[in-house]
Amino acid sequence: MAMNSIAHYLWVAGMAWAISLWFVQRRPKWMPLKEINERSLHCVETPSMGGVAILAAFLIAWLPRLYPSWNEYWGWLLPPLAIVAILSFLDDRQPLSAFLRLRWQALALLLFLYGNGDHLEMLIPEHGSTVLHLGNLVLYFLFMLWMINLYNFMDGMDGLASGMGVIGFAAMALTSSASVNHPFAITALTVSAACLGFWLLNRPPGRLFMGDVGAISLGFLAAALSVWGHSAHLLPWWASLLIFSPFIVDATWTLLRRMCNGSPILQPHREHFYQQKMLAGWAPWKILIFYYTIMLLAAFVVWCFTGE
């Protein structure tokens, strides 16, 4: 990668990090306190909705790059992100029903897949049938819907979801960086940098939570960039699954176990691995180091097989 490209990447990422850190340090008064409930691992009510800082930093750092490639790269990404973020913002202020959230999330994903149709067409062989194309879209839709919500499920302890954001999106950027100046790499790097600014106040003992507006939005971005990277032939299909496997495996296994036990899958609980270890007396940093190690190893494996 050319030095001027590296400098540009670092400039945009540095801007995202600085904006995010500046925002979370001020913690606007409208941020509500996260109350303690049956799912909570914290003992003190803590300001939430810090995910707004991540989104603001990401978008502000990226604004200069919206033109002139809006239609090609952003016209199909920002509108569904806005739907997901606004819905989650409202949910943080006043809890909405699970089915209402799922309906709006589904609408956002359909909008994303429709807008990204030209890129997805490249994944279908010339002799591919309509059934194959529709099946492909259904798989993408289900993957993205699950990724959005599992990321939220895993946002239950200080530094976990924000750390996954830092490592996961940085891994996406690194493994696709061979494509010089491709918007995908710098997009992923900007999200990672914005997460890093937030992580500095979210790490144990957390002084600010990201809320659904942060976790749901990051889940959408993880899913959207996974589809984008695959459709643009920047990442193989398994790369994103492996990069985010610490969250995917934990959330999927926990959901399947609860379904087999007859437990309500939409009811808040504390049965994820990290929650069980916290309740068993593990120190927060011990749990985070365990997860961070797996995240970094997964990212390293992906880089070894896809990096250049």
Query: How high is the pLDDT of residue 136?
Result: 79
Query: How high is the pLDDT of residue 8?
Result: 75
Domain chopping of the chain, boundaries:
3-31+41-306
Query: How high is the pLDDT of residue 242?
Result: 96
Contacts of 308 (CB under 8 A, 6+ apart): 178
Q: What is the pLDDT of residues 242-252, one digit of tens each?
A: 999 999 999 99
Query: How high is the pLDDT of residue 39?
Result: 59
How many CB atoms within 10 Å of residue 285? 13
Q: pTM of the prediction?
A: 0.91
Query: How high is the pLDDT of residue 87?
Result: 96
Query: How high is the pLDDT of residue 127?
Result: 54
Please say whether the beta carbons of 92 and 212 come within 8 A. yes
Residues of the chain below pLDDT 70: 1-5, 27-45, 66-73, 117-133, 177-181, 266, 307-308
- The radius of gyration of the chain from alpha carbons, rounded to an integer in Å, stands at 19
Contacts of 119 (CB under 8 A, 6+ apart): 228, 231, 232
Cα-based distances in Å from 181 to 14, 98, 119, 139, 205: 17, 40, 18, 29, 38
